[in-house]
Amino acid sequence: MKVELLSITPDPERVIELAARTCYQSVDRMNEATLGHLLAKLLMSGHESPFEHAYATFRISGCSRAMTHQLVRHRLMAVSQKSQRYVSEKSFEYVIPPSVPTERVEEFKNDMETIRQMYIKWKNAGLRNEDARFVLPNACATEIIISANFREFRHIFKVRCSPHAQWEIREACMFMLKELNKHAPHVFGDLAANLGVEN
C-alpha cells in the first residue's frame, strides 16, 4: 500500500486560528506564541468548527477493496475511486493479508488466479465489467483519492487508528496522521502522542 499526501491547505493552523479568532473578534491578538494555546483550547472546549477550514487530499493505492469499503463510510470525506465498471479487472492485483501463513501464500495466490479465470470466463460469456465483477474478491487492489477537512480527519483517526481497527485501514490512517501531524502538530499532536506516532 502506498499513501501520498497530494495537497494541503497552506499554513493550515494559521487559517484555523484566524477562523476561531473571527468568532471572538480577536484577530489583532494573533501571534506565533498564541497559536498552539488557542488550538488546544478549541479542542478541549469542543469548539471544533474552525478545524473545518483546513483541508487535505491523499492518494491511497495498492490497498484492498476490503479496506476502502470501510474508509468510504466516512460521509464527510470526498472520494474518487478506481471504477470496476469502466476499468477491466482481467489482470487485477490483490492484497494478501499478513495473517496468511507464509507456507500457504501460494495457495492464496492460486485462489486469486482461479477467481481471475472466473472473471475472464464471464467476460468472455458477454457480461459487462459491471456484472463480471460480481465474482471478484475483497482482496482486489484499488486506488482511491480522499479529501477531508481536519475536523473529519481527527474523527477518522480516532476510530480508525485504534488498535481494534482492521489492520489495513489502521495502517493507512496511521500514515495519514503522521503526515498531517508534520504540517499541523497543534491539531493532530494529541492523537499522534496517544497513538505513539513518531515524526
How many binding residues for ligand FAD (CB under 6 A)?
9
Q: Which is nearer to ligand FAD, 70 or 88 (CB)?
A: 70
Helix axes 185-195, 12-24, angle to 10 degrees: 110
Region 125-164 residues binding ligand FAD, contact defined as CB under 6 A: 152, 155, 159, 164
Contact assessment for residue 136 and residue 84, using Cβ atoms and an 8 Å cutoff = yes
Give the span between the Cα atoms of 160 and 60, in whole angstroms.
15
Angle at 71 between CA 98 and CA 46, to 5 degrees: 120
CB of 35 to ligand FAD, least distance (A): 26
Binding mask 88-127 for ligand FAD (x = CB under 6 A): ----------------------------------------
Nearest to 77 by CA among 132, 144, 136: 144
Q: Which is nearer to ligand FAD, 73 or 85 (CB)?
A: 73
Query: Which H or E run contains 43?
Result: helix 35-45
Q: Which is nearer to ligand FAD, 152 or 179 (CB)?
A: 152
What sign has the CA pseudo-torsion 170, 174, 176, 181? positive
Give the span between the Cα atoms of 134 and 136, in whole angstroms.
6
Contact assessment for residue 53 and residue 19, using Cβ atoms and an 8 Å cutoff = yes
The stretch near ligand FAD (CB under 6 A) out of 23-31, 57-65, 67-75, 175-183 is 67-75
The stretch near ligand FAD (CB under 6 A) out of 40-48, 68-76, 90-98, 188-196 is 68-76
CB of 152 to ligand FAD, least distance (A): 6
Binding mask 74-93 for ligand FAD (x = CB under 6 A): xxx-----------------
The binding site for ligand FAD (CB under 6 A) comprises 73-76, 152, 155, 159, 164-165
